[in-house]
Amino acid sequence: MKHQDFQPTQPAPIETLTGRAIDEFRVSHPSEVISLLRRINEGNVLVQLCAPDGAVYACTLWAVDTHQRRLSFDADPKHPQVRSLLDAGEVTAMAYLDAIKLQFDLRGLMLVHGRDSSALQTGFPEAMYRFQRREGFRVKPRNEALAHLRHPSQPETALALRVLDVSVGGCALALPAQTPPIDAGAELPQVRLELDADTRFIATLHVQHVSGGFGSTAKIVRLGCAFGRLDGPAQRAVQRFVDVTQRRHKLLSI
């Protein structure tokens, strides 16, 4: 069976998030946690279990026991990584639901043997964390979203370009056709992005592709850009903006 949702990944550094930042990604209400666990279970989604020493084991969530608040993951007792997980005492679990990466900690993992199979059992996590995948949804900001930058070949020329869409990995900008062209491969340093009143940060953009004839007047060139390395506050700002905008669009479509 192919599991399209699974991609090897590394745990996000939850310990570096504090205060409001951690609340933006945390799901802690019991009913929400159970709902997400059931989706993992019912969708036969692969779960990646990671021990602090780097041991990784991929499995599926066999059962969600809401009465005893226990989880059961399928396990091969002969697999060398299973012993590493048991010895670790605490592991980090990760799974993908659509474009969302879920991460949660599991403690007290136990290996339980049945007549024909074995399982790794543990209690429910106290909380789960939702992160948008880098290749996940792009959202369209409001028209006032702008990127302020200097033209790469004419540094004396200041530009204020409309932001067409945003993902956690990058954004698309509208370059007026009469503006000197910006080619694919160009680096745009120190771009000040103003997505809304609460989401403003500085980033380096790398132009990945350029397409013309965009818009009803065919006078706009679309610049598809990837973010350079963002610092922690900028990463959280983009993540929050994409998540909030996505939710708003869903509500408006109901």
Whether the pLDDT of residue 148 is over 80: the answer is: yes
Cross-sheet strand order for the sheet of 128-132: 26-27, 128-132, 100-107, 90-97, 46-50, 56-65, 70-75, 118-123, 110-113
CATH of domain 146-253: 2.40.10.220
- What is residue 83's three-state secondary structure? helix
> Does the reported pTM lie above 0.75?
no
Task: For domain 14-132, give the CATH superfamily.
Answer: Electron Transport, Fmn-binding Protein; Chain A (2.30.110.10)
Greatest alpha-carbon span in the chain: 75
Alpha-carbon gap, residue 1 to 58, rounded angstroms: 14
Q: Which helix (H) or strand (E) holds 226?
A: strand 220-227
Domain positions in the chain: 14-132, 146-253
Question: Quick one: pLDDT at residue 74?
Answer: 92
Whether the pLDDT of residue 137 is over 80: the answer is: no
Whether the pLDDT of residue 21 is over 60: the answer is: no
